[in-house]
Structures are given as C-alpha cells and as structure tokens.
Chains A and B, each alone.
Chain A
C-alpha cells in the first residue's frame, strides 16, 4: 500500500513515471467503468484517455485522509472522473441510440477455468445493460451499479429527480424483460 501512496504522491507532483504506473494499474478498471456507459468500445477507450488526462491534470485536488483506504479512495475518485467524462461524451452525442452489436473481440478471452461460466454470464449481463437506451442506461448504472442517489444523478445529468426515478424504473422493467428473453433463448437452444 505504501507503493500506492508513492504513486499518488508522484502523480500529485506530476511526475510522469508515477503517472504511467497509475495508468497501467487502473486502465482496466477505468475501461470497465466507462464501457458500461459508452456503447462503442473505441469511443469508450477515448473517454478513458480523456479521463486519465483530466485526472492527472487535477491530481492536486485529490485528497487522502489518514483514515482512508488509499486504494478505495483513489478508485472512487477515478471512477467519478471516468463517469463524468462518459456522461459528457454521451451528452455530446445527445444520448442518441446506438445501432449494431458489440463485437466479440472486445471481451477478454475466458479460458476454461472454475469461473469461466460466471464470467460469460457477467459479460452477457453487461451486454444487456448496454442494450438499454442511453438515458436509461446511465441512470441505471449510476444508481444501481455505482451507488449514486437520485439527487446526485439529477445533478450530474442536469435532469429533474423525478425523471431520474422514472428512468430507473423503466430501465429495470426493460432489463427484467431482456434477462427473461435471454434465459428463454438459452433454454430454446438447449
């Protein structure tokens, strides 16, 4: 953990060696956060890049208290930056619906292991979330998966709280139907 504190300290002082270490360490985490919001993988990687640029430039605003777990604190901070960048990117595209499927090559190959099936399930679930309309997807991600309150979501998205609630409600219904269809499809294939 001391190593992470050094990395944070180096990033605060804008030392590129430590910036690089942090990027390598949290690039995967950031990609996973952003890809839930941004449909296209290429756009998501661009947003991750934007997010890291923003993070490194604003690192002197990162505060670490003694009682904090540095890793949790850093990941929470990074996640917030990545989400904000993702929302900005979606807003630039006016939250337009995306067409076309998600190419298979964006997924990490799951070798036969104990949890291979689980990983495939996770991948399918994320794919379903990504099928949601953008405004539903963002609210669902923010509230259910990332733990923000509706008032926070309303502030981040510049929408009324009531809209946030209704979007989440519709997202849940849509998701439930999609999951049901997915399960039925699997059963049919069997």
Chain B
C-alpha cells in the first residue's frame, strides 16, 4: 500500500487554507438574535439571593413578634387543650360533690397583680380549684388558667360583696384587680367555688380538634396559567414543603418552599423586550410559548372561618416570591418581513420578591391527633412581571397538603 508523501501532506495543508470557497449567506441577523435571546447574553450573574431570603425571614419574624408583643399581657388562657399536662396539681375528680373551699385552697396568702397574675404563692403550693379550673403557681411562669364560669363570693375582706365572674371577664388583663381593692390580699378562705357553676366536661371535648404551635408538611398541586385574559396553557404542577405557626385558635402564619413548573402563552404585546439584552432592532415577537421552573416561597396568613370537631374551613392570603431557575421560550418572530421560530433557554436565576398576591380557601381535616390533610384551591394574581419577558402570569390551582403538628 502506498502512503501519502510529506510533500503531498504539505500541499494538502496549503490547499486547506487557500481553497476557493464561497463565503455563503450572511447570517449575522440570526447570530445576533440567538446571542440576544441566549442566557449568556445576560451581563452578570448575581449571587444567590441571601437578601431575598432575608426579606422573607424578616417579614416572618415581624409577624411573629408583633403577635407575641400584642399578646404579652394576656394572663388567662384556655386549659382544656393541655389539661393532661397539669398532673402536678391536685385535682378534685368528682365535681358534683360539694367542695369546701378549704379543701381546694389551702390557707395561703396570694395576691393578684395589676395584670391579674397570681403571685406570692409559696413555691410548693400545688392546688386546683376544681377539675377544669386551676391556679398555677407563679414560679411555673404560667398564667391562671380557668375555663367556664366561676363565682367568687366574699371576695373582699368585709365579706359583704358577692361577685359573679365569667371566664371572659377573667381573660381581661387587670380585671381581678379592678374588682377588688388595689392592695387586696385574697386569702384562701375568701374564695368560694359555686358548685352549680362548675362546668362538666362533655364527652366530645376529649376529641376537640386542637392545633397549636408549629406544624410542617408536604404539599403538591396542579395549576393552570394565563397571561392577562388570554388562553390558558397546559397545566403545571408544584411540589414542596410548608411550615406554619398557630398564632391563635384561628390565626396562623405559613411559609414554605415549592418547586413549580409553569407553562404559559402570550401574544407579543405583553412581552417586554427590556430583559432581552441586545435584541436586533426591528425584530418583532409575534407570539411566545414558554415554560419555567420556579422556586416559590409563599408567606401567608391563614384564618379559620369554621372549626368544628375535626374539620376546618379556612382562608388565607399573602404573597409569593419567585426564583425562576430555568426558562425556555419558543418565539415566533418577524424580522424584515420574514417569520421565524426561535428557541431560547435561560438558566440564570431571576428573583422576584412578592411577585404575586395569593388568595386561597381551603378545607382541612384532622387525621389522628397530630396529622391533617388539606385541600386548598387558590389563585395567584401577579404583582409584577416575571421572567425574561416580564410576563404577568396569573395562576389558578389546587394544592393538597399533609401536615403534622409538632405539639
């Protein structure tokens, strides 16, 4: 077999540089368009948004501490929900038996401060007025916890005054102090419990639907999206985790992290070229089909409209912030009278604080003592445009969640 000679190789090298080839069609416009719609055209990639997360945390803490501050003076709470925890206290089991005050309250001095908190009780003092009513020593740093109605008689020293007090009265900060003398000392034998007014626990109350403290869970859902009042595109989905805190019996604050896939469609008139970088002048976007992957961070305030047995009907409202991690668009363009399809993929993270306002109405049912299942239709209304084209994407969807209370 014959091989190429070195001379021939040299000749071929020369030929490879100098051979006559037509330059061909000028495709600069296509190149310019592709550069401008490519993620690489973005000038700088910002660092992952610590500020973005910080905004949410600050907002969350402001809500939590605001609530705690507003409620710092409350000295009376419901006991029934955590009755089982007060095992250290003497409990009179049979509430129908006549109760002698001295049996209930040993002859110890106690005073009530301005906020109505019982203090100056001996550390070893452990007693309960009756089932369902208890006074907790102050060194426990808890508050008087009373359910139902109480009747105090002879509440003052002169033994002349009878006073009926309801639980709601006792909930008012400083109430007790307002009905007795400023420096009154309430002694044990001044307090009487009217047997007739002691409420009996109903059997159903043991199953009372109780939620308190923190809870967390998983959530998934389906949604459809539209830009302005145009057609809906194909459904998207989301999947994530949520966490919440009960601020009260009805109110809670929730946040979470959801990975969401959205599809959308729009005509060119809603597409802003501002985020496109150097798009060739004269190029017009006729239509756009796009999709994106978003990390969604909601911050919602939830209010329970209805709470009976193990069922709750609730509504919630709040904001959602987006981190768009990936966006794929198919553009139908017109340039110098020629229509063309262009595809672009954007992998740069784009962050939008408070991108949408969310409103939901949902139904929740308890499963066991700590678990809950939730069905929650929602609507997300855009506050600002998102993505490369700053599109105002509106979402309608439904989410199914499983949550578990920490307490």
Contacts and interface: CB of A to CB of B under 8 A. Distances in A.
Interface residues of A, number: 46
A53 B41 contact: no
Given A53-B34, A56-B35, A175 B4 contact: yes
B29 to A, nearest CB: 10
A64 interface: no
A122 B20 contact: yes
B1 interface: yes
B17 A179 contact: no
B229 interface: no
Contacts of A173: 1-3
Interface of A is mostly: helix
A176 B19 contact: no
Contact of B19 (A19, A105, A119): A119
B15 interface: yes
A187 interface: no
A108 B4 contact: no
B57 interface: no
Chain B interface size, under 10 / 10 to 19 / 20 to 34 / 35 or more? 20 to 34
A129 interface: yes
Contacts of B4: 172, 175-176, 179
B88 interface: no
Interface string A119-163: 101110110010000000000010011000000000000000000
A153 B62 CA distance: 62
Nearest to B12: A125
A144 B38 contact: no
B91 to A, nearest CB: 76
Interface string B1-27: 111100011011111111111111111
B32 interface: yes
A80 to B, nearest CB: 15
Interface of A: 14, 16, 19-20, 23-24, 27-28, 31-32, 35-36, 41, 45, 48-49, 52-53, 56-58, 105-110, 118-119, 121-123, 125-126, 129, 141, 144-145, 169, 172-173, 175-177, 179-180
Q: Which 4 A-B pairs have the closest CB atoms?
A: A57-B40, A122-B15, A108-B20, A122-B19
Interface of B: 1-4, 8-9, 11-28, 30-32, 34-35, 38, 40-41, 43, 278
26 contacts: A16-B32, A20-B32, A28-B21, A31-B21, A31-B24, A35-B21, A45-B24, A45-B27, A57-B40, A57-B41, A106-B24, A108-B21, A108-B22, A110-B20, A118-B18, A119-B18, A119-B19, A121-B15, A122-B15, A122-B19, A123-B20, A125-B15, A129-B12, A145-B12, A145-B16, A176-B8
